[in-house]
Structure 1
Amino acid sequence: MFRRSDTHDITGVYSISNSLYEVSNVEVGQHFYWRLGDFQVHAQVLITSWVVVATSSGSAVSATRNLETVPATGQNFVEYVLESIRDLTRTQIGEEEYRPWVPFIGTMFLFIFVSNWSGALFPWRVLELPNGELAAPTNDINTTVALASLTSIAYFYAGLHKKGLSYFGKYIQPTPVLLPINILEDFTKPLSLSFRLFGNILADELVVAVLISPVPLVIPIPMMFLGLFTSGIQALIFATPAAAYIGESLEGHH
C-alpha cells in the first residue's frame, strides 16, 4: 500500500514528466516534414543541407578545375580560405599533429559558414511549401547537435588513437577528486557548441524577420550585411573550439 505522501510524490514526478514532454514538443516557427512509414524526417534540414553541400562542392570544383601557377581570382580565393583554415588548425592543435585534422576542421567550418550565409542571403520563404517553411540548416537544433556530436567523436578518437586506453587517465588528473568535473566537461563541450550556434543563428533570423515586416524595402539590405558578418563569426567561433578540443585530447591534459 502507498502512503499518501508516496502518492503525492509519484503524482508530482508524473506532472513534471508531462511538463518536460510538452516543452520538448515546442517548436520555433513552422517546419516541413516527410513521412517514411512510422518515421518522421525533418525535410527542412535535409533539403537546405543538400543545397549547401551542392553549392560548396560546385564552387570548389569550379575554382580548382584548371589550376595555374599564377592563380586567377577564384583559385586565389580558394587558396586563401584553405590557408586560413590550415593556420587556424595549426594554432589550436600544434605544429606536429595538425595536418591530419585540417580536412575535418575545414569541412566543419565551410559547411557552417555556407549554411549561415544561405540563411542570410537566400530568400527561402519565397518557396511555398504545403506546410512549414525552409531556413538555414544551422537554424535547426538537429543540425548543430549533429555537428557538435561529430566534434566530440573526433576529439575522443584523437586521444584514443594516440594514447590508447591510457587516454582516460586524464579524468583523474591532477587529482582523482576532479573525476566528476572532468566527466561533466565532456558533456558540456558539445552542449555549448550546439546551443551557441543554434541560438545565435535563430536569433539573427528572427530579428531580421521582425524588422523586415514593418519596413520591407528599407531594413533588409543593412540587416543582410549584418547577417553575413555574424554568419562568418559564428562559423569561426564553432571551428576554433572544435580544433582546440582536439588539441587538448592530443596533449593529454587541460
Structure 2
Amino acid sequence: MSQARWIAILGDFKISETVIVSWIIIAGLAIISYLLTRNLKKTPTSKVQILLEFAVGGLYKLVNDTMGEKTVKRMPNIAPYIGSLFLFFACSNLIGLLGFRSPTTDLDTTLAWALITFFMIYVTGVRFNGFGYFKGLLEPIPFLLPLNIIGELARPISLSFRPFGNILGGAVIMKLFYDFLAYLSSFIPAIGSVPIGQILIPVPLHLYFDLFAGLLQSFIFIMLTMVFVGNAAE
C-alpha cells in the first residue's frame, strides 16, 4: 500500500486523503447522531429510541464492569468518550468497503489515538493519586526504573501498531487478491472484460478482513484504553 495521497496543497499546508476521509466519517456520524436523537422522548415510544437506549445502556455497563463504578463516577465523561472512540474507530476500519482508503491504514491516525490514551493514563493517575503515581515506576525495586520506563513507552507503540498492522495487512492482501483475480479473468475471453470473479469470490475475505477484523481491532483498542486508564485511576 502506498502512502496516503495529498488531496490539496496550499504552500506548506497539505491535506492528505486520510484527513479528508476522517472528515467524511466525522460528518457522517454527526448527521446520523442528529437524525437519530432529534425526537427523543422521556418515555420511549419508537423502536429507534429503544434500540439507542439499549446500546447506550450496554456501553455504560461495559465501561462500569471494566473500569469500576467508582472510577466512572469520578470520570463522568469517560463512557461517552469510549463510545465515540469505538464508533469512529470502527467506521474508519469499515469505510474501505465503500471504496475509500481506511484512515487506519495510515500510522498517523492510530498513533494519534494511542497518544490520546497514553496522555490520558498519566493525567488520570496524577489527578487521582497525585505525583506519587510515578512511584510505581520504582516498583518492585528502584533498579528496574529503566525497564519500567521502556514498558510505559511501549504502550503507545503497541496500541498504534496493532490496529495499523492488522488493517493495513488486510488491505494489502485484498489488493493482491483482486489483482490475481483480474489476471485469471484475462485468460477467459468471454468474461475478461467483466470482473465477475472480483465481485463474488472476495466476499468471504471482505467479511473477515474488513468486517470481523475491523470491529475486533476497534473493540480491543477501547478495552485496552479502559484497562490502562482504570488502573491509573486506582
Q: Post-superposition shift, 1:67?
A: 1.3
Q: Post-superposition shift, 1:42?
A: 4.7
Q: Which runs of 5+ in 2 are unaligned?
A: 182-196
Deviations, residues 37-94 of structure 1 (Å, cap 9, x unaligned): 235x351111000111111111111111111423534333333332333223222211
Deviations, residues 153-200 of structure 1 (Å, cap 9, x unaligned): 111110111122111111112321221122112111111010000011
Tell me the number of residue pairs that the alignment of Structure 1 and Structure 2 aligns: 212
Q: Indicate the RMSD between aligned Cα atoms, in angstroms.
A: 1.8
- Match of residue 239, structure 1, among 209, 212, 222: 222
Residues 154-169 of structure 1 mapped to structure 2, 5 A cutoff: 154-169=120-135
Aligned partner of 2:4 in structure 1 is 31
Aligned partner of 2:154 in structure 1 is 188
Shift in CA distance, 232/65, structure 1 to aligned 2, threshold 3 Å: same
Q: Provide the TM-score with structure 2 as the length reference.
A: 0.83
Aligned partner of 2:206 in structure 1 is 224
Match for 2:206: what amino acid?
Answer: M
- Match of residue 55, structure 2, among 77, 81, 85: 81
Q: Which 4+ runs in 1 deviate beyond 6 A? A: none
SS at match of 2:135: helix
SS at match of 1:217: helix
Aligned partner of 1:104 in structure 2 is 81
The more displaced of 205-214 and 236-245 is 205-214
Distance in 1 of aligned mates of 2:65 and 2:220: 14
CA contact (8 A) 1:48 1:136 kept: yes
CA contact (8 A) 2:21 2:103 kept: yes
Distance in 1 of aligned mates of 2:57 and 2:151: 31
Aligned partner of 1:122 in structure 2 is 98
Q: Post-superposition shift, 1:111?
A: 0.9
The more displaced of 83-92 and 180-189 is 83-92
Aligned partner of 1:150 in structure 2 is 116
SS at match of 1:35: strand
Q: Post-superposition shift, 1:30?
A: 4.6
SS at match of 1:31: coil
CA contact (8 A) 1:144 1:197 kept: yes
SS at match of 2:69: coil
CA contact (8 A) 2:4 2:106 kept: no
Distance in 2 of aligned mates of 1:247 and 1:230: 25
The more displaced of 70-79 and 110-119 is 70-79
Distance in 1 of aligned mates of 2:59 and 2:3: 35
Q: Provide the TM-score with structure 1 as the length reference.
A: 0.77
Distance in 2 of aligned mates of 1:38 and 1:153: 29
Distance in 1 of aligned mates of 2:54 and 2:202: 30
CA contact (8 A) 1:212 1:219 kept: no
Percent sequence identity over matched residues?
Answer: 33
1:136 equivalent in alignment to 2:119: no
Aligned partner of 1:50 in structure 2 is 23
